[in-house]
Chain A
Amino acid sequence: AQSVTQLGSHVSVSEGALVLLRCNYSSSVPPYLFWYVQYPNQGLQLLLKYTSAATLVKGINGFEAEFKKSETSFHLTKPSAHMSDAAEYFCAVRTGFQKLVFGTGTRLLVSP
């Protein structure tokens, strides 16, 4: 069964520092992968998605993710963190027609 694993339930960075949120997938077929962000007391918003067109995917708010088949990873990065990036981030994999399986989430804390 396809699944994703997010390493680290919490990640703390200083404003201006690099953001790296880790996601590894398990899939026997080429996966379709997504990153969502959830701001406090809000629903999930799509950041970016990988659909095999390009291994480096750029999303909203300066985030990007690189698909690495050899490492079965799809880590999310941003060169310089902003206070407004503080949120919970979810990696997800499409497991079948219209079905998504989510990771357990990583809460990003940004300090001034």
Chain B
Amino acid sequence: NAGVTQTPKFQVLKTGQSMTLQCAQDMNHNSMYWYRQDPGMGLRLIYYSASEGTTDKGEVPNGYNVSRLNKREFSLRLESAAPSQTSVYFCASSEGLERSTDTQYFGPGTRLTVL
């Protein structure tokens, strides 16, 4: 039971290049999330998917797109990378329950540098 996995672990891009970050979970969770973590700013929600077939914007969606490929997989795409997107990206998943005990489980992160 691997939990939440992310690929790649590290990536260096040049400004303007595109790439897709992959995320998969094996917990049969309904909901999945993408966050970015920047020094002194905590984690900020980029996009989330409440259930298979739905996606919604979070706090900082500009410059990103997402795809909920199936119940297990949720990818994040940078179409034209910018230095401001240098960050650590975390994927998370949860059962997606309305009740308060719904808990998000995080992957190990992808460290992205845009030159």
Q: Which residues of A contact B (CB under 8 A)?
A: 9, 32, 34, 36, 41-46, 49, 51-52, 90, 94, 97-100, 102-105
Contact = CB atoms under 8 A, between A and B. Distances in A.
Q: How many of chain B's residues touch chain A, expressed as a range?
A: 20 to 34
Interface string B80-115: 000000000010101010101111111111000000
28 contacts: A32-B100, A34-B103, A36-B106, A42-B108, A43-B106, A43-B108, A43-B109, A45-B106, A46-B105, A49-B103, A51-B100, A52-B100, A90-B42, A90-B43, A94-B100, A97-B50, A97-B98, A98-B33, A98-B50, A98-B94, A98-B96, A99-B48, A99-B58, A100-B104, A102-B42, A102-B43, A102-B44, A105-B42
Contacts of B45: 99-100
A43 B107 contact: yes
Contacts of B40: 9, 104-105
A103 B42 contact: yes
Given A9-B40, A34-B103, 18 more contacts: A32-B100, A41-B109, A42-B108, A43-B106, A43-B109, A44-B43, A45-B106, A46-B103, A51-B101, A94-B102, A97-B98, A99-B48, A100-B43, A102-B43, A102-B44, A103-B42, A104-B40, A105-B40
Contacts of A51: 100-101
A44 B44 CA distance: 13
B4 interface: yes
A76 B48 CA distance: 28
B31 interface: yes
B2 interface: no
A36 B37 CA distance: 14
Nearest to A91: B42
A9 B90 CA distance: 21
